[in-house]
């Protein structure tokens, strides 16, 4: 219910959005504004913003607030209509009497509220209830929906006071059905009249992709604007986290820099959950390692895992579809996206038609639109547990190992167009990285020469459709890894024909020395074929004094 919001003191950095939304009814009535689609990553605080707005409007008494969450709704048409209608009636009477408990009393029949309505002179509302009950008695499914959806509009007209309608996870409304799922397409269009009404501005949350079908009516598109909630900045994220810890009576080590909080990307849901995880795990004085441990718990079996698992269940209609979705999401995370093709059916374990349905569900859910490290870790854990059959403890250890490895390394990435002098750009980048990690100048010169040869080979012989070279330099205290990748024709070390040095000199061959040089100066040279891409992986142990200055 809308009153179970966090305290206004703990609700940080959303004052501009709240101020704008408070004035939305005046803007819409004056034709200067319309409905608002509240966008942003999952967990960033869209629902909480609606609840804070509801609480403000409830006590200010100028605008009637109505909040409805589709994420918990029964979408069978008759059940939905009754839930929506009775929810509005309770919230309206609660607003008029300024008694929040009325809105929260979901089990109390409306007939028990009739005396209060009579005493308040709300006879028009009594008429609405009686009309709605008549539609139920007549089993008139269509008019039950119309009466429910139009109730806020009727209230705005009768009361001469605007009603702000807040529809949380509105994209789920596309699945309202009559008797069985999918049997009544187009019921969502019934919201059109309410959305267009000048005295009833709507604030909507949900998947942007799924909402495209809702706004098939072009007259609605023109009257709806997008407001994007961004993440909390680092200082406010730390302030919110420490406030949660204080409430839970948990302290932090004096030198704690909260570096691991960067992984949460200012997401209030994740920040709250990791604080609660610290409490569940009986942490008393947090350090950076504790934060990482709490995160690993959260993405494997904590509240964050439960949240994302419930989101996944909304878009996966069967256990087979859920497994396929997990496999494809993991594939997308590992490969930087999902490309089409028959090969995806092999990954999902389903037929091509079913695989396309899963891909469509992933797209509509919006799960992969934000580069969310927490979600990626959750999917990694889920893949380990549900696909590979590992336990939660193993999953936590694997996630922790990833972060421990990342702490110990620096990574530089470079994308170079395949045009003239591209190899010289690579050589310059290698030079700077070598200086940063104190590589010996002679070794660095040899490395530059060898990489120039590798890059020229890729440019001249790969036939890459992307016309790009992708390079990654990973430096650790004891090792240097260089990865060169490009699309196009396959290449292998075995395909190189070894020409004796004397023959090369006799023929005046200036090329073909690079891979031989690489084997001389590097500890490992590997070539892999990944789908349509060739990947060369070079490794050099830098413990030895001869490669250090």
Cα gap 6→207, rounded to integer Å? 24
The pLDDT value given to residue 311: 86
pLDDT tier for residue 505 given thresholds of 50, 70 and 90: very low
Per-residue model confidence (pLDDT) at position 510: 43
Angle in degrees, 0-180, between the axes of helices 288-301 and 373-382, rounded to the nearest 10:
60
pTM of the model: 0.67
Measured at the CA of 60, the angle between CA 58 and CA 64, to 5 degrees, comes to: 45
Which residue is it, tokens 């059109």? 192
Measure the CA–CA gap between 370 and 42, rounded to whole angstroms.
Answer: 9
Distances (CA, A) of 548 to 332, 442, 479, 480, 523: 38, 10, 12, 12, 15
Strands 468-476 and 35-39 turn out to be unpaired
320 pLDDT above the threshold of 50: yes
Beta-carbon count within 10 A of 297 CB: 22
- What phi and psi, each to the nearest 5 degrees, are found at residue 97? -85, -10
Q: With 90 as the cut, is the pLDDT of residue 67 above it?
A: yes
pLDDT of res. 214: 57
Q: In terms of pLDDT, which residue wins out, 106 or 509? A: 106
In the chain, pLDDT over 70 holds for what percent of residues?
85
The pLDDT assigned to 216 comes to: 57
Residue 4 in this model has a pLDDT that exceeds 70: no
HSE value, Cβ hemisphere, 13 Å, CA-based, for 415: 4
Q: Is the pLDDT at 11 greater than 80, yes or no?
A: no
- What value does the mean pLDDT take over residues 178-194? 76
The string of pLDDT tens digits covering residues 128-178 is 999 999 999 999 988 999 999 999 999 999 988 999 999 998 888 877 888
Domains of the chain: 8-228 (3.40.50.300), 234-301 (1.10.8), 312-406 (no CATH), 408-547 (3.30.565.10)
CB 100 within 8 A of CB 3: yes
Radius of gyration of the chain (CA): 30
In this structure, is the dihedral angle defined by the CA atoms of residues 365, 371, 375 and 380, taken in order, positive or negative?
A: positive
Give how far Cα 91 sits from Cα of 86, 132, 199, 513, 534, Å.
Answer: 8, 17, 18, 79, 61
- For residue 3, the tally of other CB atoms under 10 A from its CB is 15
């Amino acid at each position: 219910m809308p009153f179970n919001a966090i305290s206004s003191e703990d609700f940080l950095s959303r004052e501009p959005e709240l101020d704008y939304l408070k004035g939305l009814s005046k803007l819409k009535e004056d034709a200067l504004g319309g409905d608002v689609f509240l966008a942003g990553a999952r967990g960033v605080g869209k629902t909480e913003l609606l609840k804070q707005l509801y609480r403000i409007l409830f006590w200010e008494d100028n605008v009637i607030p109505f909040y409805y969450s589709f994420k918990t709704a029964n979408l069978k048409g008759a059940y939905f209509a009754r839930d929506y209608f009775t929810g509005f009636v309770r919230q309206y009477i609660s607003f008029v009497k300024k008694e929040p408990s009325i809105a929260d009393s979901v089990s109390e029949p409306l007939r028990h509220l009739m005396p209060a309505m009579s005493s308040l002179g709300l006879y028009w509302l009594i008429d609405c209830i009686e009309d709605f009950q008549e539609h139920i008695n007549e089993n008139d499914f269509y008019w039950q929906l119309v009466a429910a959806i139009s109730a806020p509009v009727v209230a705005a007209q009768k009361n001469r006071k605007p009603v702000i309608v807040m529809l949380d996870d509105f994209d789920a409304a596309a699945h309202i059905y009559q008797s069985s799922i999918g049997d009544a397409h187009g019921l969502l269009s019934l919201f059109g009249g309410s959305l267009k009404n000048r005295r009833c501005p709507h604030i909507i949350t949900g998947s942007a992709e799924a909402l495209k079908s809702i706004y098939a009516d072009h007259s609605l598109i023109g009257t709806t604007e997008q407001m994007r909630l961004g993440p909390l900045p680092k200082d406010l994220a730390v302030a919110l986290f420490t406030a949660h810890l204080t409430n839970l009576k948990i302290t932090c080590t004096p030198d704690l820099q909260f570096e691991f909080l960067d992984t949460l990307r200012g997401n209030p849901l994740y920040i709250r959950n990791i604080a609660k995880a610290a409490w569940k795990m009986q942490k008393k004085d947090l350090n950076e390692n504790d934060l990482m441990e709490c995160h690993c718990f959260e993405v494997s079996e904590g509240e964050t895992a439960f949240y994302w698992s419930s989101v996944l269940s909304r878009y996966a209609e069967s256990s087979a579809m859920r497994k396929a979705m997990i496999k494809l999401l993991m594939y997308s995370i590992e490969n930087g996206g999902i490309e089409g093709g028959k090969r995806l059916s092999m990954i999902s374990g389903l037929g091509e038609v079913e695989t396309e349905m899963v891909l469509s569900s992933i797209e509509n859910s919006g799960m992969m639109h934000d580069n969310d490290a927490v979600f990626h870790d959750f999917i990694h854990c889920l893949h380990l547990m549900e696909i590979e059959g590992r336990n939660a403890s193993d999953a936590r250890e694997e996630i922790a190992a990833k972060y421990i490895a990342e702490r110990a390394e620096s990574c530089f990435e470079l994308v170079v167009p395949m045009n003239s002098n591209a190899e010289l750009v690579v050589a310059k980048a290698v030079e700077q990285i070598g200086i940063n990690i104190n590589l010996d100048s002679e070794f660095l010169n040899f490395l530059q020469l060898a990489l120039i040869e590798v890059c020229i080979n890729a440019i001249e012989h790969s036939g890459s459709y992307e016309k790009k070279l992708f390079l990654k330099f990973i430096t650790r205290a004891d090792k240097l890894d260089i990865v060169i990748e490009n699309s196009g024709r396959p290449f292998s070390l075995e395909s190189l024909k070894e020409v004796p040095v004397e023959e090369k000199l006799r023929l005046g061959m200036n090329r073909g020395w690079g891979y031989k040089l690489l084997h001389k100066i590097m500890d490992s040279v590997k070539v892999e074929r990944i789908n349509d891409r060739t990947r060369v992986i070079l490794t050099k142990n830098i413990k030895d004094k001869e490669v250090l200055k």
